[in-house]
Amino acid sequence: MFRLSYPEAQVAATGIHHSRHALRLLLPGLLVMLLLAGCQPKKPVTEVAQPVKSFTRLAPPPVSAEEIMSLMQRARAGEDPQLIFAELDRLAFEGSPLIRDEAGFRKAQLMLDMQLPGALEMTWQMIEQHPEHALVPYAHFWLARYWMDLDESERALESMGKALRHVRLTRELADQMISLGSSLALDVPEDDALHWLMAAAEVDQGGRDNWLRLAARRASISTIEQMHADGSLPAELMTRFDVHAARKYLMTGDMGSLNRIADLLSVFQPGSSEAEQVRAWASGQMRQASIGVLLPLTGEYARYGEAALRGIRMALAGMAGGEQISLFVEDTGGDSELALRAYQRLQEAHVDMLIGPLLADMTEALLPQLKPNLPVLSLTGRTDLAAASPALFVHTLSPLAQVEFMARYAWQQGAQRMVIVADDDGNGMLREAVQFRQAFEALGGEVMQTLLLRPGALDYRPELRRLRFETDDEELLAELDQDLALLSPDLNVEITMPVNFDAMYMSMEGQHVSVMAGQLAYTGMTNVPIYGSSRWLDGHLLDDRGRYLSHARFAGSNAVSGRDDTALRQLRFMYREAWGGSKPSELTALAYDTLLIATVMTSRLGLIGKGIIRELHDIEGFPGITGHVRFDAAGVGQKLLDIYGIRRGRIIPAG
C-alpha cells in the first residue's frame, strides 16, 4: 500500500495555503509523482507562522511565477545550485519584466541561504535597483536570517526594522519578524533594541502599547532626550512612549528622570492630557504612608512568607524616599484565626494599604471582615477570591492567572480551534485546563476536544492516536478518497490527513511536556503549536534537549528567566548582597513589585481608601519586574508576561 501524507501544503516562498479546490486540481499530479517515486521518504514541509490579526498597513503577499516556484522547489530538493543559478540567470535575461526582477531576487535569496560569496552585494544591488518591489521587505528578512546565522544580532535586527517599515510589508512576513525580533531585542545594545521595538510599534497597532512598554523598559533618560531631539518618531508614538517611560520612573521613585520627561513632553505636546498627567506625577511630593504586611513567617509555610518579605524589604531599601514608608509586618502563621487578629491590629494601626495574605485559606477567611476603605493586595493564587470584595485585589504569578493571557496569545497567533491536554493529578492542572477553555471560548475560539491523561502512566500514544483519528479532517478525507477512486480505482492509497485543529494547550509540568513531545511526534503531530503556562519551568522541560518542542510557547516571568533588565539586575545584586548567591524566586520578585505599587498609591500619589481602589483599576496598569499588570474589574491582576520558546536545546525569550 502506498502512503500519501498531506500536511497543509505551502507554495514555496509565497506562504499561500492550498484550498480544497486547489488540492483536487493537484491530485493527478500527486498520483503521477507517487507512481514515479514509489515509497520514498517524506520531505518536511516548511511551516508557515500563524498570522497576527492586529497588523495594519500591510500589502497582499507576492505571487511567484510558476517557473520561479519550480526552480525554488528544485533548489530546496537538493538539486545542483549552479544549474538553478543558470536557469535564474536565463530568466533574468530573457523573461518578462516581472519575471526578470523576481529571478534576481530569488537568486540573491538562495545565495544568502547558502552563504555564498557575493550574496550580500547581490541582495543590496536588487534592493537598490527595485526599491518598491514586493520582494524588497523579504530581501531584508533574508538578510536578517543571514546575519542571525552568523550571530550578528544587531545587524539582523537592523534588517528586520527596514523590512517592518517598508510599504510592501505583508502580514505573513510581519508575523515571522515579530516572533524572531522579540527575542533578539533582548540581547542587543539599547539603541539597536529601541529602533526595532519602535518599528514593531508602528506596524502592530493592536500590540502598540506592549512594544512601547518594552522600549520604555530599555530606554535610559539620555536616550529619551535624544529621541526627542531627533524627532524621527510619529507624535502619537512618542507621546505614548513618554507616558510609559514616566510611569516606569514613577514606580521606581526616580523623580529627577520623571521631571525631565515631564519637561520634554510639555514642549513636545503642550496642553495635552498626557503632558498634564506626567506633570502631575512629577509634581507630587512623597508623603508619610503606612503599609501593613500579612505573611506566614512561622509554621509550615514560613519559607514562602520569608521569601515574600525579602522582596518587600528590598523594594523599600532600593527606592528613593523609602524613609517615608512605615511597614507594619504581622505573622499569620498557618492559622486563619491568627490572620483575622493580625488584620484587626493593622486596621487599628490605621495603615493606608495592606499586602497579603499569601495563602488562599487566610485570604478567604478575611473576606467577611474586609473594610471597604482598606485596600488589600493579596498574593494568593486563588484568583476567584478577588470578586468577593471591592477592597480585595489579587496579584499573583499562579498558572491560573496566566491562562487568559495565554488564551489571548494563542488567539493572536491565529489559533481558532484548540485541543486541551491536561494531567488529572489533583494539583490544579484540571482547574487550569477548565479556565483556559473558558478564556479561549470567550474570545470566539473552539475547543475541539479535552484529553485528560491517566495518572501515573508514561505511554500516552494510544490516547494520542485516538485523538489524531478523531480530529482528522473527515470532509476533506472523503473528498480525496472519492477523487482518487475516480482517477485510479485499482490503486490502494492510504492518505494521512492533517489534524483538524490549530494548536494544543498542555496543562502539565515541564517534565511531562518533554515526554509528551516525543509521543506527539510518534503520532504525526510534530508541527502542531503547543502552548502552556510557567508550570512548564520545573527544571525538566529540556530533559530531552527540547526535541520536538520548537513549536512550543509558554508564559513566564523575566524574574527567573535570566533576562538582562536593569531593574532585575539591581534586584539580583541586592539579593546576593543580603542573602547570598542564589537568585530571587518569583515570589520574592512579585512581592517586590507589589510594594512598589503600594508605595505609588499611598506615598507618591497621596491616595487613601477608595481613591486607591479607583486608581488600582486604572487601565494603564503598573510596570514591574514580573511583568506589566492591570487589575481588571474583579480585582485580578492580569499580567503581560514574557513568552518563551525552545531553540537549539535552550529556553529563549520569544516575545
For 525-550, the DSSP string reads -TTS-EEE-GGG-SS-TTTTTTTT-T
Average pLDDT over residues 69-90: 88
Residue 569: per-residue pLDDT: 79
Pair 11, 25: CB distance under 8 Å: no
Instruction: Give the least confident one: 205-219, 285-299, 459-473, 585-599.
Output: 459-473
What are the phi and psi torsion angles at 202 (to 5°)?
Answer: -65, -35
Q: At what angle do helices 235-252 and 586-599 cross, to 10 degrees?
A: 100
If DSSP codes are grouped into helix, strand and coil, which group holds residue 556? Answer: strand
How far CA 10 is from CA of 23, 67, 411, 521, in Å, comes to 11, 16, 22, 20
Query: In three state form, how does the secondary structure of 471-516 look?
Result: CECHHHHHHHHHHHHHHCCCCCEEEECCECCCEEEEECCHHHHHHH
Q: Give 354's pLDDT tier (boundaries 50, 70, 90).
A: very high
Share of the chain above pLDDT 70, in %: 85
Residue 55: per-residue pLDDT: 55
If DSSP codes are grouped into helix, strand and coil, which group holds residue 374? Answer: coil
Q: What is the pTM of this model?
A: 0.66
Judged against a pLDDT cut of 90, whether residue 309 lies above it is answered with yes
Determine the Cα–Cα distance for residues 394 and 631; give it in Å rounded to an integer: 8
Average pLDDT over residues 540-567: 76
Pair 131, 116: CB distance under 8 Å: no
Determine the Cα–Cα distance for residues 233 and 161; give it in Å rounded to an integer: 14
The DSSP H or E segment spanning 330 is strand 325-331
Q: Give 345's pLDDT tier (boundaries 50, 70, 90).
A: very high
If DSSP codes are grouped into helix, strand and coil, which group holds residue 102? Answer: helix
How far CA 249 is from CA of 5, 51, 229, 353, 371, in Å, comes to 56, 35, 20, 22, 31
Domain 289-396+573-630 has CATH 3.40.50.2300: yes
- Show the cell assigned to 258: 520623571
Residue 318: per-residue pLDDT: 85
Average pLDDT over residues 154-178: 88
Average pLDDT over residues 217-231: 90
Same fold, 289-396+573-630 and 401-556: yes
Residue in 613, 634, 638 with CA at minimum distance from that of residue 385: 634
Q: Give 17's pLDDT tier (boundaries 50, 70, 90).
A: very low
Which residues touch 145 (CB under 8 Å, ≥6 apart)? 112, 113, 156
Q: In this structure, how many other beta carbons lie within 10 angstroms of the beta carbon of residue 230?
A: 9
Average pLDDT over residues 352-372: 94
Judged against a pLDDT cut of 50, whether residue 351 lies above it is answered with yes
Judged against a pLDDT cut of 90, whether residue 391 lies above it is answered with yes
Domain 401-556 has CATH 3.40.50.2300: yes
Pair 655, 432: CB distance under 8 Å: no
Query: In three state form, how does the secondary structure of 417-482 look?
Result: EEEEEEECCCCCHHHHHHHHHHHHHHCCCEEEEEEEECCCCCCCHHHHHHHHHHCECHHHHHHHHH
Residue in 304, 538, 338, 323 with CA at minimum distance from that of residue 429: 538
Boundaries of every domain in the chain: 289-396+573-630, 401-556
